[in-house]
Amino acid sequence: MLFFGEFEHAIDAKGRLAIPSEIRGALDPEKDGQSMYLTLGANRTLRLYTEKLFEKLSDQLDQDLVTDSTTAKFDELLFPMTRKVDFDTAGRVRIPEQMRKRANLGKEVILIGVRDHLQIRDRAQWEADLEAKLQEQEEILTEYARRRRKSAASSSSSSQSNDADGEDE
């Protein structure tokens, strides 16, 4: 599922946030699941992942019984601060008060689509962050393009190296 766009909303007195009907309507219960996972992500942003994507990403994480300290810290940040949320009959999800506090959310929020997930951000903070990013837009795009080219070049040289190795067989 590809998420994109900005949607201004308010969190009601019971901590519920309406998910736009165009997003709910695009979700496929077979492919995406019935629920969503709400987690605290980088920069104290709340993120909503489809049920099946979050479970797939979780399965891909290191599952060793003995983990290094970085993996343990990551797990202790991710999983305790994650909740499975269901849509109510009005298409809302409940955001627990503790998560709202950790994400510094006020009543006025913005729901933004970011490729494979949705972010819930305090509206005023998002506007300030977006303005700063817009001021740096050219540098951000240039750096992104540079990294893509570098990644493509290393993939290409790795592929050529593998092709050369195959010729010796």
For the chain, domain boundaries: 6-123, 136-167
The secondary element (H helix, E strand) that includes residue 55 is helix 51-60
Distance between CA atoms of 145 and 139, rounded to whole angstroms? 10
Q: 112-169: per-residue pLDDT in tens?
A: 999 999 999 999 999 999 999 999 999 999 999 999 998 888 887 766 655 555 555 4
Q: Which pTM value belongs to this model?
A: 0.82
Distance between CA atoms of 69 and 147, rounded to whole angstroms? 29
Instruction: Summarize the confidence of residues 44-71 as an average pLDDT.
Output: 84
For residue 2, with 0-12 CB atoms within 10 Å meaning exposed, 13-18 middle and 19 or more buried, which class applies? exposed
Domain 6-123 fold? Chemotaxis protein chec (3.40.1550)
Distance between CA atoms of 81 and 95, rounded to whole angstroms? 12
